[in-house]
Structure 1
Amino acid sequence: MQIPSQFEIKELMKVREGPCISIFMFVSSREGETQQNPIRLRELIREAEQSMPLKLSTPTRREALLQPMRTLLIDDAIWQRPEEGLCLYSSPGLFRAFPLPMPVKDQVVVASHFYLKPLLPFLTNDVRFYILALSQHEVRLLEGTRYHIHEVALPEHVPVGISAALNYDKTQNIVQSHSGASEVSRGTGGKRSVIFHGQRPGITDTKKNLLRYFGQIDRGLHEFLHNKKVPLVLAGVEYLCPLYRKVNTYPHVPPQEVRGNPDKLSNKELHDRAWTLIESSLLQRQSEAVARYEEYAGTRRASHNINVILPASHYGQVDTLLIASDRELWGTFDTSANKTHVYKELRFGASDLLDVAATQTLLHDGSVYVLEHDRMPGDKLATAVFRY
């Protein structure tokens, strides 16, 4: 099992043949509590079975929906994973199980569509990004999200180092430097690092060689990155990254960089430093979305009324939606009559209306931000800015 991808979540949004069972469960890894995990899952499956009205499902149909979940009760591998949560989706002809790297509360929802709000952070906050780790000796390309990182095989035409790029013999000196103390500084571990001195002879050639090297990297990555909009974070010592930017043609390189020699950093260390930069950008976009709502609040371009937001989301009118991650608003929305009914508690056929609004907004290419309730504008459960 793998953490749900953005594609998989969007595919689940499109399922409309019920009954659709959604189960979320906290998975304990504490010593003495792990054996309770299968027991709790069995109770949640029983709750799902009892939530399905008899008139909507025959015993055979109910068993077909529940049996894939029951097989997990005896699957030792699933309980040995280090993940903190588990989510299960079952509908006629479809079953999906996903480990989650974050804790979730135990919850069962049986409705005409899947309950996806707990997964929305994977769509809105779990941004995919690349790290290009640059040094004169090595090039690494990493792909990451908030929770994971892995190394990507370099395209064929990306040189593995400056010597390969310039076809230097291994015995040749790649970068002109001098052994005198005025021209070389000692770095960590006593290794020599090059210091550039204005326009002295040889320095211009060194920069040209680095630009040729980086140009080959940029051209080699072009086919891989073509038509992508994923941020590419540069990692390298202070003087290399600006040189790479001079030849870079990929338009989604953020101004922030991971500074330092990447050859001395593990993939995890690069991931942690890069995610700090990406997360800062995400929080800034969230703040901008809140500010934009507050700018339009009280006008026809914005609303916090779920009775207004729901129809607008179905018709593709919502540009930006903010919803509370730690609250639910149970009810139904009649698309034919554009009428909303809000319930005090969960019942069969009810949906979390915040989830419905978010799903429809995303399916119509709007932006959704999932915030804790105390960070929502005006203490609202949902706010929307409309396209027109």
Structure 2
Amino acid sequence: MSLLSIEELKELVEQPQGLCVSIYMPTAQLGSETQQNSVRFKNLIRQAEAELEKYESRPTNLGHFLEPAIQLDEDDFWQHQSAGLALFIAEGFFRFYRVPIDMIELVVVSDRFHLKPLLPLLSGDDRYYILTLGQRDVRLLEGNRYGITREVEIEGLPQNMDEALQYDETAKDEQRRQGGGAGRAALQAGSYHGQGGERENVKEDLLQYFQLVDKALHDFFRNRHAPLVLAGVNYLLPIYHEANTYNFIVEEGIQHNTKEQTAQELHAEAWAIVEPLFEANQQKAIDYYHESIAAGKGSNDLNEVIQGAFYGRVEQLFVPVGVQKWGHFDPDSMELEMHNEAQLGDEDLLNAAAIQTIFHGGTVYAVEPEKVPDNTPVAAVFRY
């Protein structure tokens, strides 16, 4: 299955009812080690069944409840894995995701899914885009630190310079007939001697073509701030820079033909360009947190942060990966219970805070525990 999206995250949060089982496991990808995947998986299924047995409200037939996950346990399935596997099971609901991040073995049974281990894939701090440029092919790819996550489909995105400019010429001819010649000067630099014929000025045609590409991308990039990396032969990139209207394009690009490159190879080149930008941005976020603490607009108190997250106050949140804080928060009564060990009906409060922050448009930094500012379990900046 594809990488988790914000829309799928919402589905995981909102759709299931009753007991929810979340299972995480690392997965071997090569050779005989893949045989251990099945052994580890069976152990985790047994652990999930044992956890379910503790609940009076458990499904009557646990074998039937867990069956969609159990059916995955076949040799062919284990031969096509990434670094980790995440599974989510509820009554009448099942999803699984192969994920490119290392997982620890974890089983959580609660009245909602445990999603925090996946938050690094959804954090707002490492999303970037690659625009591959060619006269006969243009693609927009989305990625993060773990790889290329998808090819973005853009309605009206030109794919071929000849066709795009011929269509544009036809449209402008129609405008001239209706408008008494308006726009003639703009057409002269890109004039044609018949479809597919020689052009008077290739650079002007490329600029016109890239202006059409930029126009098609405009709505998608509206209100986005992620870096955009250009990829193509070196003479194309400065021409696209001239046509570009997106404020977060990266000056450095991938300056060669990328048509034959794999997604993994393309990601490696792009990530080397954008990683320093993300590191600088994360340091800015840490500095901003310290400034906000001094101004009374930040907190590392879990009770205060949980309340703020549920009411949309959290602008920026740092949570540690691999750390859980168990308890229950009632947003109606504003009451928080915390426990040293997970009890029946508990949820990971850090998970809840992160999910609510994402849903309310905040940015979540899911980081190693030692990278949370002030060495605390949580760190937040409030909008107000």
* Matched letter for residue 319 of structure 2: I
Instruction: Pick from 326, 330, 333 the counterpart of residue 329 of structure 2.
Output: 333
* Matched letter for residue 60 of structure 2: P
- Secondary structure (helix, strand or coil) at the match of 1:275 reads helix
- Secondary structure (helix, strand or coil) at the match of 1:59 reads coil
Kept in 2: contact 1:19–1:111 (CA 8 A) = yes
Q: Which residue of 1 aligns with 2:111?
A: 112
Q: Which residue of 2 aligns with 1:315?
A: 311
1:46 aligns with 2:54: no
Deviation at 1:367, TM superposition (A): 1.5
Q: Which residue of 2 aligns with 1:303?
A: 299
Deviation at 1:24, TM superposition (A): 0.5
Partner Cα separation in structure 1 for residue 159 and residue 12 of structure 2: 41
CA deviations 1:248-285 (Å, max 9, x no partner) are 34x35423331423257625343322233333333333
Q: Which residue of 2 aligns with 1:355?
A: 351
Deviation at 1:348, TM superposition (A): 2.6
Partner Cα separation in structure 2 for residue 67 and residue 103 of structure 1: 25
CA deviations 1:319-361 (Å, max 9, x no partner) are 1111111322222223343233322223332222111111111
Kept in 2: contact 1:333–1:339 (CA 8 A) = yes
Q: Which residue of 2 aligns with 1:17?
A: 17
Tell me: CA distance 1:366–1:16, structure 2 relative to 1, closer, same or farther (3 Å): farther
* Structure 1: stretches of 5+ with no match in the other structure: 176-204
* Matched letter for residue 148 of structure 2: H
Q: Which residue of 1 aligns with 2:179?
A: none
Percent of aligned positions that are identical: 33
Tell me: CA distance 1:81–1:298, structure 2 relative to 1, closer, same or farther (3 Å): same
Q: Which residue of 1 aligns with 2:256?
A: 261
Partner Cα separation in structure 2 for residue 152 and residue 299 of structure 1: 40
Partner Cα separation in structure 1 for residue 5 and residue 154 of structure 2: 23
Partner Cα separation in structure 1 for residue 212 and residue 383 of structure 2: 42
Partner Cα separation in structure 2 for residue 275 and residue 91 of structure 1: 37
Q: Which residue of 2 aligns with 1:87?
A: 86
Bigger mean CA offset, 348-357 vs 294-303: 294-303
* Matched letter for residue 119 of structure 2: L
Q: Which residue of 2 aligns with 1:56?
A: 57
* Alignment TM-score, normalising by the size of structure 1: 0.80
Partner Cα separation in structure 2 for residue 63 and residue 319 of structure 1: 43
Instruction: Pick from 138, 141, 144 the counterpart of residue 143 of structure 1.
Output: 141
Tell me: CA distance 1:304–1:159, structure 2 relative to 1, closer, same or farther (3 Å): closer
Deviation at 1:310, TM superposition (A): 0.9
Partner Cα separation in structure 1 for residue 164 and residue 29 of structure 2: 48
Tell me: CA distance 1:259–1:101, structure 2 relative to 1, closer, same or farther (3 Å): closer
* Matched letter for residue 138 of structure 2: R
Q: Which residue of 2 aligns with 1:367?
A: 363
Partner Cα separation in structure 1 for residue 56 and residue 237 of structure 2: 65
Partner Cα separation in structure 2 for residue 153 and residue 300 of structure 1: 43
Tell me: CA distance 1:208–1:285, structure 2 relative to 1, closer, same or farther (3 Å): same
The count of aligned residue pairs is 354
Alignment map for 1:169-208 (pairs within 5 Å): 205=201, 207-208=203-204
Tell me: CA distance 1:342–1:143, structure 2 relative to 1, closer, same or farther (3 Å): same
* Matched letter for residue 72 of structure 1: L
Please give the root-mean-square deviation of Cα atoms over the aligned residues, in Å: 3.1
Tell me: CA distance 1:92–1:295, structure 2 relative to 1, closer, same or farther (3 Å): same
Deviation at 1:125, TM superposition (A): 5.5
Deviation at 1:373, TM superposition (A): 1.1
